[in-house]
Amino acid sequence: MTTSADTHCPYCALQCAMTLTSPTGQAPAAQPGPVPVTLTTAPAAPLEVQGRDFPTNRGGLCRKGWTSANLLNHPGRITEPLLKGPDGIHRPISWDQALDLAATAVKDARTRYGADAVGVFGGGGLTNEKAYQLGKFARLALGTSRIDYNGRFCMSSAAAAGMRAFGVDRGLPFPLEALDTAGTILMLGSNVAETMPPFVQHLKGARDAGGLIVVDPRRSATAAFTADGGGLHLQPLPGTDLTLLLGLSHVVIHENLVDTAYVRERTSGYSAVARSVASFWPERVQSLTGVPADLIRETARRLAAGARKGGSYILTGRGVEQHVDGTDTATAAINLSLLLGLPGSARSGYGTLTGQGNGQGGREHGQKADQLPGYRKITDPAARAHVASVWGVPEDLIPGPGLPAVQLLKSLGKDDGVRCLFVHASNIAVASPDANAVIEGLRSLDFLMVCDFFMSETAAMADLVLPVLQWAEEEGTLTNLEGRVLRRRRALTPPAGARSELWIMARLAERLEAPSTYSEDPETVFEELRLASAGGLADYSGIDYAMLDRGDAAYWPYPAGSTGTPRLFSERFAHADGKAVMTPVLPRRRRTPADSPLANIADAADAKPFTLITGRLLEHYQSGAQTRRVAALLAAQPEARMQIHPAAAAAMGVAEGSFVSVANERGEVVCRAELSTAIRSETVFLPFHFPELESANRLTEAATDPISGMPEFKFNKVWVRPVAAPTAGKVLQTMEAS
């Protein structure tokens, strides 16, 4: 018997549609416990993956999507709860033992230090149902305010800017297909050709019209895509995106390209913004960013011409947002779009590209430190009263706002910080800024529990590891980068020892005698989510499983009785007066090499200063905990390589493939050099998918945006020097699961 299921890819927020087919509908038996893995002899995938026609991917998948089923019966799969012994070895225990241990650890931490000594770190890969119940579980069952998630590293600055300007945050406030007819698209800080390749087909119309403009310090695959159609690549100095955007707004204003009727009728704050950009004329901006003044003028004029013809879009990504001024940079991009009259237009718009698979839904329903379901503020009395009524608890039982992710991680192991931590769907030992400090904090905890299906670098440090379901083994919903709610469908039976996080939360809530109810059934949880979100900014109350199973498009906000909202802002923005708010923003001082001494690195006289930027590779995703276990993907990109300009490399005697040390006051990475003219000569690039001595986040700074809590991933000062061989202890990426 052949069975199949229509579902969506487990990786990025494009959520490409796919069909999974199995001869039996059953997964082959996985080996119990973690075992060493020889990737070249891993078994064939239990499911056949086929791309399915859908508006976002139109049948296409990237290499990650095509190989996504390879992990479902991987021999390194965790299939039993594992407890770390005094010797550091994880050994199987029963589920009852595991749950009792976790509950005891929570009770002990609360008794000794208070409820906020228990922390939860979630992830943008959790379904809406799991993200919702995790927020409820943390606040009611654990009684803690200390919950946040890895979306703080991804979308927080764009979200804060969207809330500031529009009163609501939805990554793309229009369907992705709308880009197909655009004549001009300005894309800042996103390399979609490698991070979500099927997206590129939506850029083809603008590219062919000569209207694709990409802003990136590297000549990325997306930037190279502009060349065939006569588009533009603006290659600013890292950390100067805000200045560049102010220069573009200056041109729009001073060349009378503003949509004056739109600005007058639909926005507030124009005068202050006009004054704030007055000193950013193109020649000055050129001196600060390195982008030629004529390209600045040409970009502004093309955007304005496209807007007049009804087809200009501005899109931002992590490259311009993962900064200490990321919220202001995203705000500057929104200001530019408002000057041109793009948001809410029938054929133009502004949007930001969500990265993680459920990065949008994951931040709407309670994982963030300051939010309740429906994108409600946890400090809003009306919001608290509504959610408390749905949960059936007194309002004062819901804690107040907690700590954003970086501050939460800084508190690990401290007397007044988190002493007992639960981690779901995140590999924080690799993915967090200043990773060495985070690892030290994890080691200092009284108790660390990780829910995962592989022994990630974070799981390897845990006292208790709980085996959970993979994407093709569960039901649920996710919300993609367009704000479209999608159905995830079960395609095969999971290993006997694995459990859903919903089940785990329900069983722990029983042991903790928690108020309210906790279901292990996804549809039951979604029905409660609908009620909790009703009337909020992210209102899901009109969506149910039946309509999603029929294939109906479901864009939030979707109040009960409505037909959803594919395009936001066509009539009004979400502020009380219906207008968008333009906010003046200005650049701030950036760090210099002198701010990053090499006191911790010996024999560094031959080191040269560079600005480090980090990012993704086509073959890998996030911390690489999954993709580094797929033989074909690992073979294509087996290790981290530092991209450096040939001229800069030659000045240091660095050859292609030779080893280099990349270091600053936070740590050191040792890896091979990759020479490329695609990068600026004062800049180096490292992918962030690799662990140990190849971990780029050993070098990134835990400084954060004061509004969003976003860390400074894309602008870090480092010193580079050639080394004869890898430092002792360098870990090759064999990804053994022991």
pLDDT tens by residue, 321-376: 999 999 999 999 999 999 999 999 999 999 999 989 899 999 899 999 999 999 99
Give the model's pLDDT for residue 30: 38
Give the model's pLDDT for residue 591: 60
| 25-34, 243-252, 295-304, 480-489: range with lowest mean pLDDT | 25-34
The CATH number of the structural domain formed by 156-353 is 3.40.228.10
Q: What is the mean pLDDT of residues 236-240?
A: 95
pLDDT band at 639 (very low <50, low <70, confident <90, very high): very high
Give the model's pLDDT for residue 2: 55
Q: Structural domain boundaries of the chain?
A: 3-71, 82-154+358-534, 156-353, 593-722
pLDDT band at 592 (very low <50, low <70, confident <90, very high): low
Burial class (CB in 10 A: 0-12, 13-18, 19+), 272: exposed
Q: Which CATH number fits domain 82-154+358-534: 3.40.50.1110, 3.90.226.10, 3.40.449.10, 3.40.50.740?
A: 3.40.50.740
Give the model's pLDDT for residue 382: 97
| 24-38, 63-77, 136-150, 204-218: range with lowest mean pLDDT | 24-38
Q: What is the mean pLDDT of residues 1-26?
A: 85
Q: What is the mean pLDDT of residues 18-24?
A: 85
Give the model's pLDDT for residue 43: 62
d(CA 258, CA 168): 24
Asked if residue 394 has a cis previous peptide bond (ω within 30° of 0), the answer is: no
The CATH number of the structural domain formed by 593-722 is 2.40.40.20
pLDDT in tens, 706-734: 999 999 999 999 999 999 877 544 433 33
Q: What is the mean pLDDT of residues 196-211?
A: 95
Q: What is the mean pLDDT of residues 4-25?
A: 90
| 20-29, 264-273, 498-507, 660-669: range with lowest mean pLDDT | 20-29
3, β-bridge pairs = 22
**Of 559, 480, 654, 631, nearest in space to 43 by CA:** 631
- Is residue 470 within 8 A of residue 501, CB to CB? The reply is no
Give the model's pLDDT for residue 75: 94
> Tokens 């994890």 — which residue?
442
Q: What is the mean pLDDT of residues 75-94?
A: 97
pLDDT in tens, 520-577: 999 999 999 999 999 999 999 999 999 999 999 999 999 999 999 999 999 999 999 9
Could you give the strand order of the β-sheet that contains 184-188, starting from the edge strand earlier in sequence?
232-234, 212-215, 184-188, 312-316, 349-352
pLDDT band at 596 (very low <50, low <70, confident <90, very high): low
Q: Which residues contact 623 (CB under 8 A, 6 or more apart)?
A: 427, 430, 431, 456, 457, 688, 689, 691
- What are the DSSP E strand ranges found in 24-104? 48-51, 82-84, 90-92
Give the model's pLDDT for residue 216: 96
Q: What is the mean pLDDT of residues 124-133?
A: 97
State CA 61 to chain mean position distance. 19
- Is residue 709 within 8 A of residue 703, CB to CB? The reply is no
Exposure string of 322-357, with b = 16+ CB inside 10 Å and e = fewer, is bbbbbbbbbbbbbbbbbbbbbbbbebbbbbbbbbbb
pLDDT in tens, 165-195: 999 999 999 999 999 999 999 999 999 999 9
Give the model's pLDDT for residue 303: 98
**Of 45, 46, 52, nearest in space to 7 by CA:** 52
Give the model's pLDDT for residue 588: 83
Give the model's pLDDT for residue 728: 46
Give the model's pLDDT for residue 36: 32
Which superfamily does 3-71 belong to? ADC-like domains (2.20.25.90)
Give the model's pLDDT for residue 310: 74
pLDDT value at 26 more than 70: no
Give the model's pLDDT for residue 471: 96
